[in-house]
Amino acid sequence: MLAAGGALVAVTVLAAGCTSAGTADPSSPPTTVTSTSIVGTSTHRTTVTTVVGTITLPASELTTVTVSQPVTTQGPPPATQEPKPTPGTCPYLSDSAVMEANGQHTGQTSLIATKPYPVCIFTRSDGGYLATTRIVVAKNAAAAAAAVNQHAPVDKSNPATHPQGWTGGAMGNLDGVDGYPEAKSIYAVSKGKIAIVAISNQAQSIKGRQMVEDIVANLHL
């Protein structure tokens, strides 16, 4: 096509899409791109028409990526090297309360100087093992609950819900407890970031429950 002052050439290119990887959607509206260049007194105009469609890839060319998120669980407070027991008087549970809870006279009481509360170990009047009480102040409520589960695993213990607002586990008729081979029962509960564990040489876990209730009342926990 000729025009005054030069030649005008119009070229139309139709791109049908990539037929080897998929098909183009014929219903999609065409996109027109026009470029113009002027050289001297001649004007060259090129018109390019492109059909833009949807290309569907075969399943063999698709890749599925699965991302796994790590599961974080709260563990009990880390174990520390505890000092040896020394004779003393339990500051949060009296010998008489232990005697009433377990139905046995008490002998010498020993303390393990943990912070902020010592572990109290009670003996019978004949020197044999009677009971142990431990108070754990954890970093948070989850760590306190984990400390309870460490002593009274949820899958092996009965639910414990005393005193009111405290939860944990109770186990009886045991053949010893870790560190206390003569122990027969354990009662462990937590509330907030505090956990209390009571171990007894009696087979009924209600003995430990009574000691825990006395501790909570004495310390206003």
Is 79 within 8 Å of 112 (Cβ atoms)? no
Show the tokens assigned to 208. 């430990």
Q: Where are the beta strands (DSSP E) in the chain?
A: 2-3, 6-7, 14-15, 30-39, 42-51, 86-87, 110-112, 119-123, 129-137, 158-160, 167-171, 185-191, 194-200
> In terms of pTM, does the model score above 0.85?
no
Q: Which amino acid is at 108?
A: Q
pLDDT in the model for residue 40 = 46
Pairing of strands 119-123, 185-191: unpaired
Q: Report the alpha-carbon distance of residue 207 to residue 186 in Å, rounded.
A: 9
pLDDT along the chain (221 residues), means of 10: 42 40 49 45 46 56 53 57 90 97 96 96 96 97 96 94 97 92 97 98 97 98 94
Backbone angles phi, psi at 197, to 5 degrees: -125, 130
Q: What domains does the chain contain, in order, with CATH numbers?
A: 2-57 (no CATH), 86-219 (3.40.1000.10)
Backbone angles phi, psi at 119, to 5 degrees: -80, 130
Backbone angles phi, psi at 9, to 5 degrees: -115, 125
